[in-house]
């Protein structure tokens, strides 16, 4: 199934505007550097663009900044997570600050998620 061109264009734009936290995680995940898993950044899955996605582990990694403290944004994030989990994709979220200050803990959580059993898609 083809990804709409507007979503592809947005994903390309997001790749050029990485936050410091996204840049750090990307340097650690790219080129199968993390346990041999292939991660993609700003990757379209359905109607969503995921910060980082590993198809092998069916894992989405989302990095959130201060805009995600807004009630409407949190509601959207929850809806998005439910939709992705309904499609069998596990979603893990980290605050940008945690990525920058507690990188090892973040990587441990990602490692656990990569090796955990995949969730079953909703019928």
The structure tokens listed for 36 are 């041999």
**What is the tens place of the pLDDT at every residue in 8-54?**
665 666 666 788 999 999 999 999 999 999 999 999 888 888 999 99
What percent of the chain shows pLDDT beyond 90? 57
Report the range of poorest mean pLDDT among 82-86, 100-104, 105-109: 82-86
Domains detected in the chain? 5-115 (3.40.960.10)
The string over 49-58, giving b where at least 16 C-beta atoms fall within 10 Å of a residue's C-beta and e elsewhere, is bbbbbbeebb
Instruction: Look at 59 and 116; give whichever has higher pLDDT.
Output: 59
pTM of full prediction above 0.85: no
């Amino acid at each position: 199934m083809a990804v709409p061109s507007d979503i592809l264009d947005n994903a390309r734009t997001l790749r050029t505007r990485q936050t410091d936290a996204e840049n750090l995680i990307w340097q650690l995940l790219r080129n199968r550097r993390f346990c041999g898993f292939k991660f993609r950044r700003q990757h379209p899955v359905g109607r969503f663009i995921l910060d980082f996605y590993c198809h092998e582990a069916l894992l989405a990694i989302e990095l959130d900044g201060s805009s995600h403290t807004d009630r409407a944004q949190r509601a959207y994030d929850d809806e998005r997570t439910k939709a992705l989990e309904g499609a069998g994709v596990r979603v893990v979220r980290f605050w940008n600050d945690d990525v920058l200050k507690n990188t090892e803990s973040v990587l441990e959580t990602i490692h656990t998620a990569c090796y955990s059993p995949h969730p079953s898609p909703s019928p």
